[in-house]
Amino acid sequence: MCTLSWQVMPESNQLYLFFNRDELFSRPEAEPPKVRQDDVNLARYLAPVDPQGGGTWIAANEHGLVICLLNDYQGKSMNHLSDKAKSRGLLVRKLAGFDSAEKVESYLTDERRLKVFQPFNVVLFNGVAEPVMWHWNGEELRYEEKPELPVVSSGFDQSRVRRRRAEVFSRARNADGRLTPEAMLRAHRSAEPKPQPESIAMQLDDKGTVSITQVEVLMHKNTDSLEINMRYWPGKPLEVKPEPFVVTIEAPFES
């Protein structure tokens, strides 16, 4: 039951996105993000890690790719996989090693690779641009060029939850129709819309929002360099507001 929002600012070459991770409170606490390196392609990337499955739900690499994964509770659960299903978070770590959106697409569109995963949505940001999304429902892969904000996963009435959370973001926009980082963070910490479990910061007895992750992508055209910052707030946002963990990658890019 996660929530992803974003704002692209092409005139200043910036992208901001926020991701609420919703999980069972009994699940082990994730490792905070740090600079990691792909074993095969040697690409550096930023990501928190789930110690239970070894994967992640969000990663941003030195090539300007940001990959977000949300479980799809509306898809066809692949019961035949039983305990053989691979952690969907491992897919994000695999994709974080690629240096182009084309390679991410090529990997995902080979459905033989997807049959070991339960249903999911993968949202890809390529530099400072609007995202694209792939939806694996357990049987087939569907591509969406411009997913609507926010992207939501919910085990309840997903279409209603997405619509009501979208209303919160709509009210948070400024006079220019933009979402500032400050407004986005307030929304992701919000108990709106009521009642639970429809709130963006979800909190039930046994499950809810366990962290907020922000990714900021900045393209410095004057120096042909790329800067990616990841901020990570662990804990229940309705109860705690800790100082974030902050990690950064800088890399050159071809303008």
pLDDT at 253: 82
Instruction: Map residue 34 onto helix, strand or coil.
Output: strand
Our count of domains for the chain comes to 1
> With contact defined as beta carbons under 8 Å apart, do 114 and 72 qualify?
no
Is 209 within 8 Å of 236 (Cβ atoms)? yes
Q: Which amino acid is at 77?
A: S
pLDDT at 86: 84
Task: Identify the domain containing residue 62 by its residue range.
Answer: 3-252
Output the domain CATH number for residue 62: 3.60.60.10
Write down the pLDDT at residue 77.
61
Q: What is the pLDDT along the chain (255 residues), one digit of tens a residue?
A: 799 999 999 999 999 999 999 999 999 999 999 999 999 999 999 999 999 999 999 999 999 999 999 999 875 565 555 555 789 999 999 999 999 999 999 999 998 899 889 899 999 999 999 999 999 998 899 999 999 999 999 877 889 999 999 999 999 999 999 999 999 999 999 999 999 999 999 999 999 999 999 999 999 988 999 999 999 999 999 999 999 999 999 999 876
Give the pLDDT confidence score for residue 78 in this predicted structure.
56
Cα-based torsion angle of the residue sequence 120, 179, 64, 134 in order, rounded to the nearest 10 degrees: 20
The pLDDT value recorded for residue 157 is 84
Q: In this predicted structure, what is the pLDDT of residue 190?
A: 97
Q: What is the pLDDT of residue 19?
A: 98
